[in-house]
Structures are given as C-alpha cells and as structure tokens.
Amino acid sequence: MECGRHLNIEILTLSEVVAVTGQAGAFSVTVKKNPRFIDMDKCIACGICSQKCPKKVDDEFNMGISKRKAAYIQYGQTVPLKYAIDPKTCLFTTKGKCRACEKFCPTGAINFDDKEEIQTFSVGSLILSPGYKPFDPAGIDFYGYGKIPDVVTGLEYERMLSPGGPFHGHLEKPSDHKEPKNIAWIQCVGSRSTNRCENGYCSSVCCMYAMKQALITAAHLPDGGRQTLFYMDIRSHGKEFELYYNYAKEHDIRFVRARPHTIEPGPGNTGVTMRYVTEDGRQLKEDFDMAVLSVGMEASADALDLSQKTGIELTAYNFAKTGSFTPVSSSRDGIFVSGCFKGPMNIPSSVAVASAASAEASKALISAKGTLTREKKYPAEKDLSGQPPRIGVFVCSCGSNIAGVVDVAAVVDYAKTLPYVVHAENNMFACSTDTQELLAKVIGEQNLNRIVIAACTPRTHEPLFQDTLKEAGLNGYLVEMANIRNHNSWVHQKQPEKATAKAMDQVRMAAAKVGLAFPIQELQVNVVQKALVIGGGVAGMNAALGLADQGYETMLLEKTDALGGNAWHLSTTAKNEKIRPMLEQLIQKVESHERIEILKNARLTSSTGTVGNFTSSIQIGNESREIQYGAAVLATGARESEPTEFMYGEDARIMTHLEFEKELAERKDRVQSAGSAVFIQCVGSRNTRRPYCSRVCCTHSVQNAITLKTLNPSMNVYVLYRDMRTYGTREDLYTEARRRGVVFIRYDLENPPLVAKTDGALTVKVTDPILGMPLELTTDYLILAAAIVPNETRELVELYKCAVNADGFLNEAHPKLRPVDMAVDGLFIAGLCTYPKPIDESISQAKAAVARANVILSQNVMQLDAIKSFVTDHCDGCALCLDVCPYRAITLTQHSDNGHTAKKISTDKALCKGCGLCAATCPKRGVMVHGFTTEQLRAQVYAALDLIG
Amino acid sequence: MSEPFEPKIIGFLCNWCAYAGGDLAGISRIQYPPNMRAIRVMCSGMVHPELVVEALTKGADGVMVMG
C-alpha cells in the first residue's frame, strides 16, 4: 500500500522486460505492458465486473483449490486495487461474445480496445526480483501427488488454513470435505535431493513453515489432533526459531526422523497410508488423514528469461550469481538482485537484501540524486480559531456498491438534521477527480471547516481526502470517514433497511467525532545529515562505507584499537572466497574515505535527541567529545564463546573453531599429518543456557572437514551433530563432505559425546543411532563448534533505550518486515549483534541499514506523523503511564507553577507512535492522542448509542 | 409480541488488524449481522477501561475490543 501511494514509485503491472541495453548509469529498458482491458483511472474496485463475469477459472492465488472469474483481482489486498480481465480465459477475448462486465461496470472502465504497449524507460540502475517457484511434486510418483486427493503441497495447505482462503479457514480434507485430525508433513520435497530432481540445496524455509502449519492445525482442533513432521534435520537456524521448535515439541507436535518412501491412498479412498523406515531400521506403515508435502523453492522460468534478457550470470541451480562480499550485485555492473532470485531465503532476509539492493542501486545514481523526485506543495491553512464547527457530509454511492443496499438519499437527509452539519450531499463516486474538485469548491463556498466522507475505508482513502482538504486550505485532520461500504453495504447485502440505519449511525458517529477535531500540526525535525556507526567489524565498515558513499559525513566508532573484528580470524566464506584480502581492502577503503572519520578506542557515553537529530558524548581514550548525527547504525558484533564442556582448556588438542582456523594457518603440516579429527556441534548452543542455534557452525565444521579431507584424504574425520543446518546452497558443502568420506554421527542433547584422555590419547565416546551401538573414536584433534555470543551492549541499550532479546542480541523493530530497523526511530542494526550469521548476510544487513538510514538522512527537514500523544492540564505527574509506554517516549518533569513546584509528564513527539497506551492507563485524562482523544471516542460511543443529537 | 432482541454492540477496532480485517470481510463479501458499531482506534491499547464501562452503563449490550 505504501508503494502504491508513493509519489516517486510508478507501478507497471502486467508488464514484462523485453530488452535491456546500455550500461550502468544509463540503461534503456524496453517494457511490454500487456492490456488490462480495464481503465485503471476509472476502476473503483467495486467488483461488479467479477460478479457478472460468467467465466470461472482456477484461482492461482488459492493454488487452484477455488475458482475466480476471468474479470478478477488476485486477492483482496491487491495493490493497485484495480480489476483486470484475463485475456486467456475471458469469453469475449477468446470467443468474441459476452461483454457482461462492460454492460454492468458503473464507471465505464471496461475497455476491450486496450492494446499491448511497448514503452522504453531510461534508468541508471536495475533491481531484479522475480521471486521463486514452488517445487512441483507431480513428477515424484511415490508421493501420489495429483493422484491421491488428500496429498497436498505446503502452499496449498497454507491457503486451506487461511481465513481468507477457499475454505474460510475451516479445515477440510479434499477427498470428503471432513475435518482432518491427523496430518503428516513430509519435509525436503524437492529440496536436498538430486535423485528425483536437481535441487541439491536446502530451501531454508520449509522446516519453519511446516512447524507453523502443524501448530496452527493443532490449535484449530479441539484436542489438537495428532500432527506429525517427517524430517531429515530440523533447520530452525533463524532468530528465536529454536524456541519455536521447542514450543512445537512441548505442544505435542510429533517429530519423526525419517523420509517416507511411499504414500498410498488410505482406507476407503480417503486419507493416506504412509510407509517409512525409522532411524533404527524398523519398517512402519501408518495412516494419516492428509499428507502435506513441504515443497521447496526453485528458480522460476520467468527468472531464467529475465536473466537472459538482462545478461546476468546464474548459478548451477539457476539462481542469480552473487559474491559473499557483494551480496546483491549481479555479474553485470549496475544490475542488482534481491529476494529468492538470490537463492532460497525467508522473509526477513528477503526484506534485508531488498533494502541492500536499493542502497546499491541508489549509490550508482548519486550524481543525479533528487533530480526526478517529486514533492507536493499546499496553500497556507485557514485560521479556524474561534469558529464553531461547520460540518459538510458527503455520502458516496460508489456506483451501486453502496447505493444498491443503503438508501443514500435518506442518509443525506438524515445527515442534515445532525448538530453542526450545514451541508450534506450525495456523490456518485466521492473519490473521482471531479468530486474532489467539487469538494474543494463546496468547502470554499459554504465555509466548511469539518468534513465527513461516508464512503469506503479510511485505510485506503483517508490520505486522498486529507489531501483534498489540504488543497482547499484546511488542515488534513479535519476529515472523518464513515465506512459505509466495506463495513456496511458489502457485508449486509440482504438487509437494506438495517444497513441504512447503520449508515445513519455511522454518519452520526463520524460527525460527532469530527466536531471535536482540531487542526493537528505535523511535527518537523531538522535533520543533521551525518551518520554514526558503532562497531568497526565487517558489518560496521560496510555500513560506514555505504553511508559515506551516499554523501554523508560518517563517524565510525570502534571500541578497540583496530578495525576488522572477527573477520581477521576467518579464512574463507562458504563460497570459498578468501576473507583476508577482502578485509584488508575494506579497511583501506574505509581509512582513505574522505567522509569517514574513524574513532578507535572509543565508546559512547551519552545520548540525547531523537530521529534526525541525536547528540552524544563519546569517550576516546582520555578525551571526551560531543557529536551530532541524524541516524546511527549499531554493529556491535558477537564473538565465539569459551566452551565449558568437553574438557576444553584441559588439552591443547581440544580447540574451538577459531583456534583451529589459526592452527590450520600456522601449523598446516601438523594438521596434515593427523590421523583423525572430531568435530562436535552445538557446543553451548541449543541447550537450556543458550536456547538458540548459532547458525554458522554447521557450515564452518563442514568446510573445515572438507579442508582436512583435501589436505589428507586418508584422515578419519567425524562430525558429531544434532541436526545438520547447512541451509540454502551451503547444503552442497555437506554433500561434498560426505562424498569425501567425512563421517557424520548424530547425538542427542540428553546423550552428549563423552571426551576422555587415557594414557595421553584423546577419545570421544558417542552412540551411533543407526547402529544403535557405542563408538569410541581416538582423535588427534577435537574441534568444538562453540556458540556465538553477543558482545556486551548493556551500556548502549541503556543510553538509546533500545531492546535486546533474552539471549542478549539486539532486537529489530519487527522480526519479519523491519529486520534492520530498531524500535527507536533513527537507529538501525546490522551484523552479528542481531543474531549469528555468516559474512554475506552481515554485509547484506549493513547495506540494508544504509538504505534505511538514507531515508532519514536524505531529507533536510523530516516530516513526522501527526498522530501523537499530548499532555493535558489534568496531568498530576502520577507517572503511571511511564511504565506502559512501549517506546519510552514519556518522562517525568518538574515545573514550577506560581512559586510551587509540581510534577508533570512530558512526551517526546519523535519517540511517540500514537498508540495511546498512556491514555488508556491515565486515571485523570492527563494524556491523550491527537485525533483520538477521550472526548472524541466518547462522542462516538454516545453517538452510537444515540444519546446525542 | 415484542420485537426480537437486537443487541447494540460497540466495537473498538485496531486500525492495523481488526479494522483491516473488517475491510477484508467487505472485499470478500462475508455477510454478518449489522449490530456492531465500529470505532477505529490506532491501537486497541488506547481504549480506556472507563469508556468500556461507560458504554455498557449507557445502554450498549456488549463491547468488543479487537486488536
């Protein structure tokens, strides 16, 4: 919705790239716009075309489980919310007859003369984001997909579970429409397999979505039913995902480590009968009501086509080829990639790489910055002080969408009887351009100072009407919408009288509220166009470099005397790129950048101010200094923990990953001559003390295991693990390690390996779950995959009033949709400080943080939202609201009043988000939210109960 | 015969979820009884308990706070 409304984003729908010529900074992109057959300017999304359309086709959004019409929208929240006619199925475009939509469309928006258009755009950068395709399991005969009705894919099941889906959220078995109670999920369908498909990689997201579906299903059933996940390794390697896995286990989701080999129709041709072999070799047969195939992701045909047209290189799996140090750059200069086109990833990673791609794309356009962007200007606001409300009510017919159910004429007549209403009229379409002009004219003629629009939802249309008011010289907050369409005529279609009565109530409530509305001033902040980056590791340096390249003076604060952080101790990435040369080059670039000031041995000691304008003191050695900045990126990092188990510290042959990296670098000969090496995974992770997965260690161990096998193929290399979590294309390394003869032995948290030293020999005892027998391994090296723990941030967290999770990692504003923003506006996070992650993901986040900070820093003056809390005279400083404010926007202040001092709260407008928790807590009406004051809400309640007027 | 009981319900709907859900119900044409009057709030947390009590004492048969 934000994209759709943005002044500087033009959305080209039904369009495809035909050709890309030119080079970075000056591309020419030829785009084919397919005809929509509906005029977007005229379409009001009433849906009548779809209702009247006689042609039913499979609804691809619901994975073909339900039907849609040939005149359609993909789903209710479509942006732009405009209907389209599908020329492949429309009766008129295919057979030359029908045109029912055209006959019934109330705005004359149907245009069968619409033609395909070719347009050429000049752009400086390109971002490719063609997404992925869910794996089609129809080709794998033993799963019975497509033949057994109760075998569905994960995405189909997702739609079946959805309240907006084909079954309205009521679970049904496809075979007999009865409620399934006992469902099996089968993991890794079309992933981690080179047998029946070519997808050797892990799709990264399926373990989590299957667990989510199982939990929702269980919650749906009165007794939870019996939900089972068949898996190879559970990969809950994301932030707080391991907690979710534990939660699923505690809530009776059954996890079975097996890959079912045959699914047959169940008894009576409903449900399924599944055959599988357990880890200890037992052959089992079990019946389920349904089987859900957790299908993975693969590159789509569109993505292949797009890569050919743009001339970029792909990987063996047809994902876009990128480097770990340039994670969003394609092989062609000026073309960037984001989302699952880069490889399988979940939503937070997708959002982060999308921001990173926008940072890179805008960096390339820096010389032309601001030349084509648009801004809107309004006339000065009229002074309304002392004027009583003069309310105008505009009742929209929305064609027949409202007028077909609600008696709009009666609503207009009724509105005229309400207090302070001086004008009421009916409009065919309140949102049309001519009505907007009319509205502005009537405001002037009738000297209206409050407006009620009885039409559709404020969530989509309030900005439009606010804009019209502003153009007419009124404050934008003097309009109130009565939603008589979405919340009335559309949902009470068979009760016109009651709908009309409700519409009158809604108008009365809106008029009562708007009568108490006052102009609200949008808060402005003068932005200090400078940035602060805290932490000089790879993430921090990338953030600093990105911000400086965008043109901002950037201070890079590092607590030690050297830049580089953990990267100094790492040799190669998962893609086998050498880290040291990259690091040295990065440091050199940062040190020589004219807009970067490096502050070593420095720490932050105070912080005041808010988004756009922070002031902090920093301590550098013995000196103290004050700095100002508009935004900050926190990249405080994490480190390898020191193990407390497996005899660590008692023998030189027992070492952590980083110590072993050093050993490999400095004493290669000794390593090469070793007879055996044992890796133990999850040392200090995924236990009660640290209930999270450290994400990087499985790949790290596998990489080093391969290195050992390369140095000395006859060496016995063992990896003792709980679940191998080589997610994404890292799975190839796991496959490679096994191919080279690395032995992987699984252990449980309850039954960990035992390390002992007898007569100088180091031994590890572990029970092999497949043999069911204890093994004793004598080893020359024992490498412990020690947990990654966050660096100390307590001081910073206190200064910035920002949030950390229970494990000490800094928290994002929203775990999925705002992965690099902190809840405190103007602060961003990147790298290991949020959660353990490999170098490419750290760099992606750093670049993403640059893009997000750029939104603030690119403006001289920043406009803040106007819906904020304010303090009234009733406040007596009881401070109850201080504790409930989730944004810590309230402080208690002393002020003197006629000689005696009193306490009162003060709210920080920049920190406040207008949630009103303070208002609901205050026993004295001492604090309220603009536009939603207690008086206004009460007026609505009274009006609803018909107690005024 | 008296008319069948039609409750008057006041609903406080969070702008970001419940109110949006109401919009979606409209787009999906899901039919429901016309007894609730919706008041849009920016967060269900801004609804003062006093207001809920007041609505009930002034004649509302039910109050829903949805968020």
What distance in Å separates the CA atoms of residue A932 and residue A917, rounded to the nearest whole number? 12
Tokens 């020329």 belong to: A87
pLDDT at position A692, please? 97
What distance in Å separates the CA atoms of residue A723 and residue A730, rounded to the nearest whole number? 14
Q: Are A657 and A570 in contact (CB under 8 A)?
A: no
| pLDDT at residue A899 greater than cutoff 80 | no
User: C-alpha dihedral over A763, A769, A772, A774, to 10 degrees?
Assistant: 10
A491 and B8 within 8 Å at the Cβ level: the answer is no
A487 and B40 within 8 Å at the Cβ level: the answer is no
List the single residue in B23, B46, B59 with the smallest CB-CB distance to A932.
B46
What distance in Å separates the CA atoms of residue A66 and residue A166, rounded to the nearest whole number? 6
Determine contact: B40 vs chain A, CB below 8 A: yes
Determine contact: B34 vs chain A, CB below 8 A: yes
B23 and A487 within 8 Å at the Cβ level: the answer is yes
Q: What confidence tens digit (pLDDT) does each residue in A582-614 have?
A: 999 999 999 999 999 999 999 999 999 889 999
| Chain B nearest CA to A46, separation (Å) | 9
A597 burial (CB, 10 Å; 0-12 / 13-18 / 19+) is middle
Give the residue on A whose Cα is nearest the Cα of B60.
Answer: A945
A495 burial (CB, 10 Å; 0-12 / 13-18 / 19+) is middle
Q: What confidence tens digit (pLDDT) does each residue in A700-744 have?
A: 999 999 999 999 999 999 999 999 999 999 999 999 999 999 999
B34 and A502 within 8 Å at the Cβ level: the answer is yes
Q: Which helix (H) or strand (E) holds A153?
A: strand A151-153
pLDDT at position A27, please? 96
pLDDT at position A34, please? 96
What distance in Å separates the CA atoms of residue A707 and residue A74, rounded to the nearest whole number? 50
| pLDDT at residue A32 greater than cutoff 90 | yes
Q: How confident is the model at residue A174 (pLDDT cuts 50, 70, 90)?
A: very high
Q: What is the CATH number of domain A526-637+791-862?
A: 3.50.50.60
* Average pLDDT of every residue of chain A: 94
For A391-514, CATH number out of 3.40.50, 1.20.120, 3.30.70, 2.60.40 equals 3.40.50
Tokens 């809390």 belong to: A869
B26 and A494 within 8 Å at the Cβ level: the answer is no
CA distances from A384 to A404, A450, A478, A934 (A): 38, 10, 11, 22
Q: What confidence tens digit (pLDDT) does each residue in A902-939 have?
A: 899 999 888 898 999 999 999 999 999 999 999 999 99
CA distances from A340 to A133, A325, A344, A610, A729 (A): 9, 18, 5, 35, 12
pLDDT at position A280, please? 85
- Stretch among A85-94, A161-170, A385-394 having the lowest mean pLDDT: A161-170
Token pair belonging to A577:
């790129």
A941 and B20 within 8 Å at the Cβ level: the answer is no
- CA-atom Rg of chain A in angstroms: 31
What distance in Å separates the CA atoms of residue A123 and residue A368, rounded to the nearest whole number? 11
Q: What order do you get walking across the sheet with A262-265 strand by strand?
A: A262-265, A272-277, A283-288
User: Start-end ranges of CATH 3.40.50 in chain A?
Assistant: 391-514
Q: Are A390 and A358 in contact (CB under 8 A)?
A: no
Q: What confidence tens digit (pLDDT) does each residue in A57-114 have?
A: 999 999 888 899 999 999 877 888 899 999 999 999 999 999 999 999 999 999 999 9
Q: Are A782 and A646 in contact (CB under 8 A)?
A: yes
- CA-atom Rg of chain B in angstroms: 13
What 3-state DSSP class applies to A408?
A: helix
The neighbour count for residue A749, using CB atoms within 10 Å, is 10
CA distances from A869 to A399, A738, A906, A911, B17 (A): 39, 60, 10, 10, 21
The verdict on whether omega for the bond into residue A769 sits within 30 degrees of 0, i.e. cis, is no
Q: How confident is the model at residue A414 (pLDDT cuts 50, 70, 90)?
A: very high
| pLDDT at residue A897 greater than cutoff 80 | no
pLDDT at position A847, please? 98
Q: Are A602 and A616 in contact (CB under 8 A)?
A: no
User: Start-end ranges of CATH 3.50.50.60 in chain A?
Assistant: 133-298, 526-637+791-862, 641-788
Nearest partner of A820 among A775, A780, A790, A850, judged by Cα: A850
List the single residue in B27, B46, B58 with the smallest CB-CB distance to A942.
B58
pLDDT at position A853, please? 98
In chain A, residues with a C-beta closer than 8 Å to the C-beta of B56 are none
In chain A, residues with a C-beta closer than 8 Å to the C-beta of B58 are 941-942, 945, 947
B42 and A932 within 8 Å at the Cβ level: the answer is yes
Q: Which residue has the higher pLDDT, A220 or A146?
A: A146
Token pair belonging to A702:
């596998």
| Residue from B12, B23, B41 to probe the interface with A (highest A Cβ count within 10 Å) | B23
B58 and A499 within 8 Å at the Cβ level: the answer is no
B51 and A490 within 8 Å at the Cβ level: the answer is no
Number of H helices, E strands in chain B: 2, 3
The neighbour count for residue A91, using CB atoms within 10 Å, is 16
pLDDT at position A100, please? 95
Burial A390-427 (b: 16+ CB within 10 A, else e): bbbbbbbbbbebbbbbbbbeebbebbeebeebbbbebb
Q: How confident is the model at residue A677 (pLDDT cuts 50, 70, 90)?
A: very high
Determine contact: B53 vs chain A, CB below 8 A: no
What distance in Å separates the CA atoms of residue A200 and residue A772, rounded to the nearest whole number? 29
| pLDDT at residue A485 greater than cutoff 70 | yes
B22 and A483 within 8 Å at the Cβ level: the answer is yes
Q: Reply yes or no on domain A133-298 having CATH 3.50.50.60.
A: yes
List the single residue in A486, A501, A941 with the smallest CB-CB distance to B39.
A941
List the single residue in B10, B22, B47 with the smallest CB-CB distance to A920.
B47
| pLDDT at residue A38 greater than cutoff 50 | yes
Q: What confidence tens digit (pLDDT) does each residue in B18-34 have?
A: 999 999 889 878 899 99
A938 and B51 within 8 Å at the Cβ level: the answer is yes
pLDDT at position A573, please? 96
Q: How confident is the model at residue A900 (pLDDT cuts 50, 70, 90)?
A: confident
- Stretch among A5-9, A156-160, A456-460, A556-560 having the lowest mean pLDDT: A5-9
Q: What confidence tens digit (pLDDT) does each residue in A679-699 have?
A: 999 999 999 999 999 999 999
What distance in Å separates the CA atoms of residue A713 and residue A164, rounded to the nearest whole number? 56
| Residue from A490, A508, A513, A870 to probe the interface with B (highest B Cβ count within 10 Å) | A490
| Chain B nearest CA to A916, separation (Å) | 4
Predicted complex ipTM: 0.97
In chain A, residues with a C-beta closer than 8 Å to the C-beta of B67 are none
At position B15, the amino acid (one-letter code) is N
| Chain B nearest CA to A741, separation (Å) | 53
In chain B, residues with a C-beta closer than 8 Å to the C-beta of A495 are 34
E strand segments, A195-331 = 226-231, 254-257, 262-265, 272-277, 283-288, 290-295, 297-299
- The residues pairing with A907 across neighbouring beta strands, listed in sequence order, are A890
Averaged pLDDT for residues A840-869: 94
E strand segments, A705-768 = 716-721, 743-746, 754-758, 761-768
Q: Helix, strand, coil proportions of chain B in percent (round to 5)? A: 35, 25, 40
DSSP state of A523: P
At position A161, the amino acid (one-letter code) is L
In chain A, residues with a C-beta closer than 8 Å to the C-beta of B11 are none
| Residue from B12, B35, B37, B66 to probe the interface with A (highest A Cβ count within 10 Å) | B37
At position A80, the amino acid (one-letter code) is P
* Average pLDDT of every residue of chain B: 93
List the single residue in A459, A493, A937 with the smallest CB-CB distance to B19.
A459
- In the A/B pair of chains, how many CB contacts fall below 8 A? 119
In chain B, residues with a C-beta closer than 8 Å to the C-beta of A497 are none
pLDDT at position A874, please? 93
CATH class, domain A641-788, is alpha beta
Give the residue on A whose Cα is nearest the Cα of B17.
Answer: A459
A929 and B46 within 8 Å at the Cβ level: the answer is yes
Q: How confident is the model at residue B1 (pLDDT cuts 50, 70, 90)?
A: low
In chain B, residues with a C-beta closer than 8 Å to the C-beta of A485 are 26
Token pair belonging to A353:
């790489």
pLDDT at position A435, please? 87
| Chain mean position to CA A880 | 34
In chain B, residues with a C-beta closer than 8 Å to the C-beta of A492 are 31-32, 34
A756 burial (CB, 10 Å; 0-12 / 13-18 / 19+) is exposed
Q: Helix, strand, coil proportions of chain A in percent (round to 5)? A: 30, 25, 45
What distance in Å separates the CA atoms of residue A772 and residue A279, rounded to the nearest whole number? 9
In chain B, residues with a C-beta closer than 8 Å to the C-beta of A920 are 45-49
Q: Are A15 and A24 in contact (CB under 8 A)?
A: no
List the single residue in A498, A920, A945 with the smallest CB-CB distance to B8.
A945
pLDDT at position A895, please? 81
| pLDDT at residue A481 greater than cutoff 60 | yes
* Share above pLDDT 70 across residues of chain A, in percent, rounded to a whole number: 100
| Chain A nearest CA to B38, separation (Å) | 8
Burial A568-581 (b: 16+ CB within 10 A, else e): ebbebbbbeeebee
Q: How confident is the model at residue A1 (pLDDT cuts 50, 70, 90)?
A: low
What distance in Å separates the CA atoms of residue A778 and residue A764, rounded to the nearest whole number? 6
A223 burial (CB, 10 Å; 0-12 / 13-18 / 19+) is exposed
Sign of the C-alpha dihedral, residues A422, A425, A431, A432?
Answer: negative
- How big is chain A, counted in residues? 949
- The residues pairing with A891 across neighbouring beta strands, listed in sequence order, are A906
Q: What is the CATH number of domain A869-929?
A: 3.30.70.3270
Q: Which helix (H) or strand (E) holds A573?
A: none
Determine contact: B45 vs chain A, CB below 8 A: yes
Nearest partner of A235 among A734, A722, A844, judged by Cα: A722
Q: How confident is the model at residue A436 (pLDDT cuts 50, 70, 90)?
A: confident
Q: What confidence tens digit (pLDDT) does each residue in A738-786 have?
A: 999 999 999 999 999 999 999 999 999 999 998 889 999 999 999 999 9
At position A857, the amino acid (one-letter code) is L
What distance in Å separates the CA atoms of residue A913 and residue A925, rounded to the nearest whole number? 19
Nearest partner of A827 among A805, A807, A857, judged by Cα: A857
What distance in Å separates the CA atoms of residue A914 and residue A737, rounded to the nearest whole number? 54
| pLDDT at residue A949 greater than cutoff 50 | no
DSSP state of A486: I
pLDDT at position A420, please? 96
Q: How confident is the model at residue A801 (pLDDT cuts 50, 70, 90)?
A: confident
A486 and B60 within 8 Å at the Cβ level: the answer is no
In chain A, residues with a C-beta closer than 8 Å to the C-beta of B20 are 459
Nearest partner of A493 among B27, B54, B31, B22, judged by Cα: B31
Nearest partner of A808 among A680, A726, A889, A692, judged by Cα: A692
| Residue from B19, B39, B47 to probe the interface with A (highest A Cβ count within 10 Å) | B39
| Chain A nearest CA to B14, separation (Å) | 10
Nearest partner of A720 among A748, A741, A695, A739, judged by Cα: A748
| A74 phi, psi to nearest 5 deg | -65, -40
What distance in Å separates the CA atoms of residue A791 and residue A767, rounded to the nearest whole number? 35
